[in-house]
Structure 1
Amino acid sequence: MTPAHRLSRGLVPLALIAVWLVVGALLGPFAGRLGEVATNDQAAFLPRSAESTRVLREQAAFQQRESLPVIVLWTADGGGAVSGRQRAASAAVAALTGTPGTAGAPSPALPSRDDAALQAVVPLRPDLGDRLAPTLERVRAAAEKVPGTQVRLAGPAATQTDLADAFSGIDGVLLAVALAAVLVILLLVYRSLLLPLVVITGAVFALGLACAVVYALADHGLVRVDGQVQGILSILVIGAATDYALLVTARCREELTAGRNRYDAARAALRRSAPAVLASAGTVALGLIALLLSDLTNNRALGPVGAVGIGCAVLSALTFLPAALALLGRRAYWPARPEGGAGATGLWQRVAALVDRRPRRVWALALTGLLVCSAGALTLDSKGVPLDETFVRHVPSVAAQQTLARHFPAGAGTPVVVLADAASADRVARTVRDTAGIAAVTATGAQGRPAAAPHAVDGRVRFEATAEAAPDTQAARDTVARLRTALHALPGARALVGGYTAQQYDILRAAERDRTVIVPVVLAVILTILVLLLRSLAVPVLLVLTVALNFTATLGVAALVFRDVFGFSGTDPSVPLYGFVFLVALGVDYNIFLMSRVREETLRHGAREGVRRGLVTTGGVITSAGVVLAATFAALGVIPLAFLAQIAFIVAFGVLLDTLVVRSLLVPALVRDAGNRVWWPTRPGTDGPEGRSPGAGRRARALLPGEDHA
């Protein structure tokens, strides 16, 4: 090799690392700036075509500015009656009219039937963002001027503030927990000091690039980002970048063990691992892109945001990491040697031997266990989480809502909004009043104030109905459903039902619709990628069925754990869909790593030997990747929200179940039992009498890493 060629070979890795250093320096800070373009305004994430969304748009004509209400609740110190303080309470909130952040005049303070509490509703602007918390403090300060009372704040504005508090510091805390977990696992896996730092550096560079791209998209209004999407993006990029890095570094170690120099080893590792990494990344990215079919804005936001994250992760794994390995060579694995890992390989040799000897027994036991777990999926309630379970710790808005429900109709302060044609006003009012679950009905007069008769605007009238049930309960949603059925049956009324509870009902219905539309699309996308990669029809179908079974088994276990361990009465309606997209796409990832290697070995040594060698050579790295990904998703548990806690458990448990049972036992045993037929319509290997390709000769008996020369 000429000196000039040697010099040019070293310049390419240096140039790549220099580019990534610039990316890290310039774009890294964006990992902490996504909060600047994020919104936790739940009204921004309503279904596009829902009836409640149409109500939001139409009621602007009634001078009802879109608002975010806060319910002020007064109770007397030490209990007792509060009626004597009603005038002072009304004056206190009336003084807030026209102050910064308000969106109209507050309602007068009204006493409860037991005369133990007063309540008033203060409408706030929905676009306050970071100014919402200071605005609520001004409301509280005004309300506290009523002597001898305790003040609590409930309603959507108070809940949104507690949500913002839950997500505050998400950038630093979540990232620190995830990186610490990854670092510990990588130190145990590699038994090296330098390589884990290289892998984590690449993952952090990928996260900085992804956050910069998402920041630009959100800043231009192309995507919406909330705290949940922000947290999932961080976890997804760190976990995916580390997973891909594990595959590349493991392949580089094999090449170094075979005697290649550092440049050739890195180049060979990149060439041989890139197809599997790209196929895996494409599977996850396209699975996420399928979320664009959702009717829910936050689901549609997660699709492109997650796909951007995956793209940046694979870019880092296939450029920065090979460049670093080319420059470091064997030093990257210090103090361990690249030939190390015989202990782990020995474990997977024993697993492979078990699968080879008793394939039918292995897959039958694994399949039975997964089917038993899957039965529990039928008990999973995904009709939403009540407010008192939304947070996994005590928050003021929940305590205030519970106090409110003890003294007032539970739906007070969060009315159901009804719009209808003016000619049908009497019939509509009567129908609303007669609907089971409605406690009271009030017409909207001029300037949007309560009135005895409704004020018509453009031929339409507006009513507010108070439900007997709390607005976040299934009973309240059932009331909305009954009300819509009754009103839609009135000829010529053109009635629409909206409000907070109707919005939650529409979100639930949209989530159910999304599952029926998106799940088949994701499965079709994954199946297509597998067919193209493995050049087979039978194996892709087998892999898709096994990861789908892993998903149902995970849901079955989750239903038990959520109910009996965490104490959740249900799950957020988007949890099953998110769990499906992540688990199926990521589960196919590991099967792609396994089966692409099995196919490679089958071409050399025959179908039976191909399964054994593929399982031995990928067992350690894929299991490590699964543990890393499970740990990173488990880090979502640091955010005190039920939704993210549920996602964290489902993905973490499901990934471990997939790597330890489905990919390690079920899939290899099924492929081993089916033999060369599983690759139909192609036949990459033809078994001889002893399970090897005739003519493979000594190559079929080549030693695997960690085998003895005994």
Structure 2
Amino acid sequence: MNLDFWRRLACRRPGWVVSGWFVVAIAVGLFAPNLTQLAAEGQAKLLGRDSESLKVAQVVAKVWPDQGYESMAVVGFHRPGGLTESDREYASQMAKQFAAPTRPNEILRVLGPDSQPEVADRLLSRDRSLELVAVPMRSAFVAPVTQEAVAWLQTTAVGPTLSAPSGLEILWSGDAVLGRDYMASVQTSLDRAALVTVFLLFAVLLAVYRSVWLALVPLATIGLSLVITRGILAWMTQLGWEISPLVELFLVAILFGTGTDFCLFVSWRFGEHFNPDNPAGAMQATLERSSLALLTSAGTVIVGLSLMGTTHFKLFSSTGPSVAIGLVLTLMATLTLTPALLVLLAGLRPRSFRGLTAPASGIWEKLGRMALSRPLLSWSLALLFMAPLALLSLRADFVQDLMTELPRETRSAQCLRLIAEKFEPGMMAPLTVVLESDADFRSSEGLALIDDVSRFLTLQRRLVEVRSATQPLGRTETLARARLASRLGEVNEGFVRMASGAGELRKGLIEGAAKIRAALWLEQKTGLKLMNEASTASSLGGVNPAPSNAGNLLAQGFRQASAAFVGSSSWSALKPAADPVRTPPSPAGTPKPEPPRQSMLRDLSRAADGAAQIEEGAERAHREVSSILANPVGRRALDRLLIDAQTLRDNPDLGKSLAAYITKSGHRARIDLVQADRVFSAGAMDQVQSLRQRLNDYLSEVDGMKVKATIGGANAESADIRALTRSDQIQSWFVVPIGVFLVLLVALRDPLACLNLVATMILTYMFALGATHLVFVSLLGAEGLDWKVPYFLFVLLVAVGVDYNVFLMDRVREESRRLGLRAGIIQAIAKTGGLISSAAAITACSFASFLSSPLGSLRQLGFALVVGITLDAVLVRPILVPCGHWLLSRVRWPRPLDPTQRATVGSVGQFVHVSD
């Protein structure tokens, strides 16, 4: 069955066609799953599997299940003058209720006043006016199950067993609560968009058709198409098709906007061929002459939206193709259901078509003549008008911040701002750094690396806390004694004690030797036996040094002391021959053995000399080490951690931190970071990208270990989304225009005309983006345009906006063959002016429904689309495109026309010779 079969069926059997569409729509509406709920679940799965933040989340959930979470609900207990004991007791009771065994499966744990002291202290503000109870959850912040868990928490908080103290303010926030409010705003946007779109479209259709019954034809066509599309997408989603909540919103806007344009085009051409005596024949002629233009127009939109599927960010890749499926069904309905309804209406109420068959006012023909009278000037003035705002779009600022997208009066956003004031702004969304290596992080080398990375991160600006295995509380003081500087400081103290002890030893040895020598001198002078060998040893503390090297050094020391005792100024003054107790040599030349006391004196002198050297060496070492420790460069060089078995024995708590931050295998380690910027802010995302680059550069220079670092967390996920969407947008800047150009080329077979159409739509996009930046940022004071606006605006204006110009160019080609280039362009403007303006008004009204959304992103996008579509209708389509087409085609256009063709021109022929 080809297209002609469906044309004949719609024209000859309209009742069957209408009945068939209604039966299918009713059946799908009754039995299809709930697309809204399925789309909400898809919102939580926007990043691909290759994203770094998603990989980190999976690793943390697997190897640190007691630390991993996807989102968090936070309950704050605030009293401006300071919390009372009853306030804190109430917070503790609520935390216990949340941790009940009957809690939802999505709630992983509850952190509150009764948690470990180091955790509980972090949940109390510095001024003690705000205490938090944190509830980590296992699902994403926009997932329906997360919203159900938040609802359970709030229901539990107002249960009969809990009674809040008077004057205590309860705050609900966290990304889980923000996600609930965001999804509620999306649903509100969808509901408002549906109502506003239908109301505005019906009003515009009444003004265009001047008939209630005729205005209902497009609404019925699009309504049935929307019901069937929703059901088909719901079934496809259950089979694995990816979808997001924005799909429903864009289905309503684009199907009611573009789809109504399709219906309007068919109705308008049907009015040109209207024959109340043979409506079926008139409709068949209409479809034969308009099907190509309709297919081309729809094809550009469908291809442009389908090309969004080539992107990687699922919010884009799932929205475009899903809406394209809806447009395919809408096109089928426009080629079958709309003709059938029009034929039935023409037979029942032919006077409904009086508005379509009325003669044109001539305004558009006058505008066309004026523009084509001086086409280069008209084209230049149009460009000059659009240039300033188009150039402004190149300097537009974009933000990706859920806080700025939500209405400022949103309670969860207000609570988060208060929490950010009382605590560190990034406390609610910490980053997680996962280190992976083949080596063991539990080894001394591995722990030293963790410490080095931790301290490297501590030096980064806008990071307020770094927690790791070597600084589990975010402070380095915990393991201060295990650092090389501290250990070397203790060695330095040992040198001081060694020098002091060696000095005391030297002093004692010298004094002892001097006493012995004095006693020997008195014995020699008086002849009295003052001491024996045993008393000599006893006077030295019972030490009987052996004749070793150390003993020799000790003896040298004692000789030096003896020399000082007798007043000798040098070691050379003390000669062995001068020793008064030296035994003369034995007869027969055999040396007589040295008396034991003399040998002991010599050994003690050497020991004293050795003690002096020890004292000197210890003092020199003390000076060197003190110099190193006192120098900033030396302190930094020695600020390294050295943990061994003894350190673990001395610090039992260190084993707990190792277990909390390092896996059992030792090949993965975790570092938690608290940023100074709040969650979802541009500064937080910028820092994630900076940290990733700096960490990889730092770890690439580590010797002996190959380590890889990845970063996850809420802000890391936002940074991944931003990077992905920027890449997708750059890709779309090339892919979408090329795809639309190829579709136009197949239909129009005129490369320059196709290039003119695509270029003007890109210029329209830049103008609309610049105008939106001027209004929302420059005038209304927004931080920037929402990050989704440029992408959706580009695709929709280039793909959807081109279809108006397809209607124009199709008529230009038709009229130019008959009248010549200039006259044909003027006649095409006159014939399509009312149609395209009405279609633009319909599309603009459908997108204007976005302005009723509570979300800032949709309001900005709606404004930009209305500006772009309006500009296209009043300036681009009647002036810029026709004048550009004339400037590009006049050289190639055949001239002059033969007399037969001129004769058929009639009254319009006066313009032919001007162009030819």
Task: State the 1:225 CA deviation.
Answer: 2.4
Aligned pair 1:308/2:361, yes or no? Answer: no
Instruction: Check the 8 A contact 1:606/1:693 in 2, yes or no.
Output: no
8 Å CA contact 2:273–2:285 kept in 1: the answer is yes
Distance 1:229 1:336, change over 3 A: closer
Question: CA contact under 8 A between 2:309 and 2:317: conserved in structure 1?
Answer: yes
Say if 2:464 is the partner of 1:439: yes
Deviation of 1:307 after TM superposition, in Å, equals 0.7
Of residues 667, 678, 684, the one that matches 1:476 is: 684
> Is contact 2:390–2:763 with CA below 8 Å preserved after alignment?
yes
SS at match of 2:741: helix
2:392 partner letter: G
Compared with structure 1, are the counterparts of its residues 471 and 41 closer, same or farther at alpha carbon in structure 2 (3 Å cutoff)?
farther
Match of 1:158 among 177, 188, 194: 177
The structure-2 alpha-carbon separation of the partners of 1:88 and 1:133, relative to structure 1 and needing over 3 Å to count, comes to closer
Which secondary structure state, in structure 2, belongs to the residue aligned with residue 696 of structure 1? helix
Aligned 1:511-526 pairs, distance under 5 A: 511-526=725-740
Counterpart for residue 257 of structure 2: 239
Q: Which residue number in structure 2 is paired with residue 106 of structure 1?
A: 110
Preserved contact between residue 605 and residue 693 of structure 1 (Cα < 8 Å): no
**Structure 1 residues 230 and 565: alpha-carbon distance in aligned structure 2, compared to 1, 3 A threshold:** farther
Q: 1:192 to 1:92 in 2, by over 3 A?
A: closer
**Aligned residue number for residue 322 of structure 1:** 339
Which of 412, 417, 435 is the matching residue for 2:427? 412
The Cα shift of 1:28 comes to: 4.2
Q: 1:478 to 1:172 in 2, by over 3 A?
A: closer
User: How has the CA–CA distance of structure 1 residues 124 and 370 changed in structure 2, closer, same or farther, with 3 Å as cutoff?
Assistant: same
Instruction: Write the letter of the residue equivalent to 2:131.
Output: L
**Change in 2 beyond 3 A, CA 1:431/1:107:** farther
Instruction: Return closer, same or farther for 1:597/1:306 CA change in 2, 3 Å cut-off.
Output: same
1:483: how far off? 1.8
1:590 corresponds, among 801, 804, 812, to 804
Where does residue 225 of structure 1 map in the other structure?
244
Alpha-carbon distance in 1 for matches of 2:133, 2:857:
30
2:207 pairs with one of 188, 192, 196: 188
For residues 85-234 of structure 1, the aligned pairs below 5 Å read 85-86=87-88, 88-97=90-99, 98=101, 99-109=103-113, 110-126=123-139, 128=145, 131-138=148-155, 140-141=157-158, 145=163, 147-148=165-166, 149-168=168-187, 172-226=191-245, 228-234=246-252
Output the CA distance in 2 between the equivalents of 1:549 and 1:234: 26
Q: Which residue of 2 aligns with 1:75?
A: 78
- Alpha-carbon displacement from aligned partner over 1:258-313 (angstroms, at most 9, x marks no partner): x9831121111111111111111111111111112222111111022111111111
Whole-angstrom CA distance in 1 between matches of 2:165 and 2:672? 31
* Equivalent residue for 1:373, pick from 372, 382, 389: 389
For residues 411 and 548 of structure 1, what CA distance do their matches in structure 2 show?
Answer: 40
Match of 1:546 in 2: 760
Amino acid of the residue matched to residue 311 of structure 1? V
Q: What TM-score, normalized by structure 1, do the two folds share? A: 0.90
Aligned residue in 2 for 1:462: 670
Task: Tell me if the contact between 1:377 and 1:553 (Cα under 8 Å) persists in the aligned partners.
Answer: yes
Q: Residue by residue, what CA displacement relative to the aligned partner does 1:442-475 show, whole Å, maximum 9, x if unpaired?
A: 34799xx988962324421222211111112122
- Residues 112 and 41 of structure 1: CA distance in aligned 2, closer, same or farther (over 3 Å): farther
1:429-448 C-alpha deviation (Å, 9 max, x unpaired): 222222211111234799xx
| Partner-residue secondary structure (3-state), 1:157 | helix
Task: State yes or no: 1:276 paired with 2:277.
Answer: no
Contact 1:195 1:333 in 2 (8 A): no
Corresponding residue number in structure 1 for 2:416 = 401
2:238 & 2:855 partners in 1: Cα distance?
26
Per-residue displacement from partner, 1:510-538 (whole Å, max 9, x unpaired)?
A: 11111111220111111111111111111
Q: What is the DSSP-based 3-state SS (H/G/I as helix, E as strand, rest coil) of the residue aligned with 1:516?
A: helix
1:192/1:332 contact within 8 Å kept: no
Corresponding residue SS for 1:465: strand
Larger Rg: 2
Residues 627 and 393 of structure 1: CA distance in aligned 2, closer, same or farther (over 3 Å): farther
Give the letter aligned to residue 115 of structure 1: R
Q: Do the aligned partners of residues 133 and 265 (structure 1) sit closer, same or farther apart at CA in structure 2, a change above 3 Å counting? A: farther
Shift of 1:91: 4.7
> What's the CA shift string for 1:656-709, capped at 9, x where partnerless?
1111111111111222344444xx5xx5xx343xxx6642134322689xxxxx
- When residues 165 and 519 of structure 1 are mapped into structure 2, their CA distance, relative to the original with a 3 A threshold, is same
Instruction: Provide the secondary structure at the position in 2 that maps to 1:161.
Output: helix
SS at match of 1:419: strand
CA contact (8 A) 2:147 2:180 kept: no
With over 3 angstroms needed to count, the CA separation of the structure-2 counterparts of 1:260 and 1:577, relative to structure 1, is farther
Asked if 1:603 is matched to 2:817, the reply is yes
CA apart distance, 1:51: 1.4
User: 1:12-66: per-residue Cα shift (whole Å, max 9, x none)?
Assistant: 2222112112123223468993213121675411244221121112112211454
Q: Which runs of 5+ in 1 are unaligned?
A: 1-6, 705-710
Cα 1:694–1:509 change in 2 (3 A) is farther
- 1: distance between equivalents of 2:356 and 2:680? 59
**Any unmatched runs of 5+ in structure 2?**
1-7, 114-122, 473-652, 701-705, 910-916
Between the aligned partners of 2:225 and 2:457, the Cα distance in structure 1 is 55
Once the two structures are TM-superposed, the CA of residue 358 in structure 1 deviates from its matched residue by 2.2
The correspondence of residues 483-562 of structure 1 with structure 2, limited to 5 A, is 483-489=691-697, 490-491=699-700, 492-562=706-776
Question: Displacement, 1:416?
Answer: 0.9
Alignment of 1:567-646 (within 5 A): 567-646=781-860
Alpha-carbon spacing, 1:181–1:333, altered in 2? closer, same or farther (3 Å):
farther
Number of the residue aligned with 2:905: 700
Out of 472-481 and 278-287, give the one that drifted further: 472-481
TM-score (norm 2): 0.70
Match of 1:256 among 274, 283, 306: 274
Counterpart of 1:112 in 2: which secondary structure? coil
Are 2:24 and 1:14 aligned?
no
Residue type of the alignment partner of 1:233: L
Q: CA, structure 1 residues 493+165, in 2 after alignment: closer, same or farther (shift >3 Å)?
A: same
The separation in 2 between residues aligned to 1:618 and 1:332, in whole angstroms, is 26
The match for 2:27 is 26
SS of equivalent to 2:169: strand
Per the alignment, residue 708 of structure 1 pairs with none
1:426 is aligned to 451
2:36 alignment counterpart:
35
User: Between the two proteins, what is the percent identity of the paired residues?
Assistant: 28
Q: Distance in 2 between matches of 1:428 and 1:189?
A: 69
**Structure-1 residue corresponding to 2:407:** 392
Q: Secondary structure at the match of 2:72?
A: strand
Moved more, 349-358 or 32-41: 32-41
The letter for the 2-side match of 1:249 is S
Q: 1:141 to 1:488 in 2, by over 3 A?
A: farther
Instruction: Name the SS for the 1:417 alignment partner.
Output: strand
Q: What is the Cα deviation at residue 542 of structure 1?
A: 1.2
Distance 1:234 1:10, change over 3 A: closer
Q: Distance in 2 between matches of 1:483 and 1:568?
A: 28
Aligned partner of 1:4 in structure 2 is none
Three-state SS of the structure 1 residue aligned to 2:677 is coil
Could you tell me how far apart the structure 2 residues matched to 1:102 and 1:438 are? 30
- Residue 364 of structure 2 aligns to which amino acid in structure 1? W
- SS of residue matched to 1:334: helix
Alignment map for 1:24-63 (pairs within 5 Å): 24-28=25-29, 33-39=34-40, 43-61=44-62, 62-63=64-65
Are the structure 2 counterparts of residues 632 and 649 from structure 1 closer, same or farther at C-alpha, using a change threshold of 3 Å?
A: same
Return the offset for 1:138. 3.8
Partner of 2:120: none
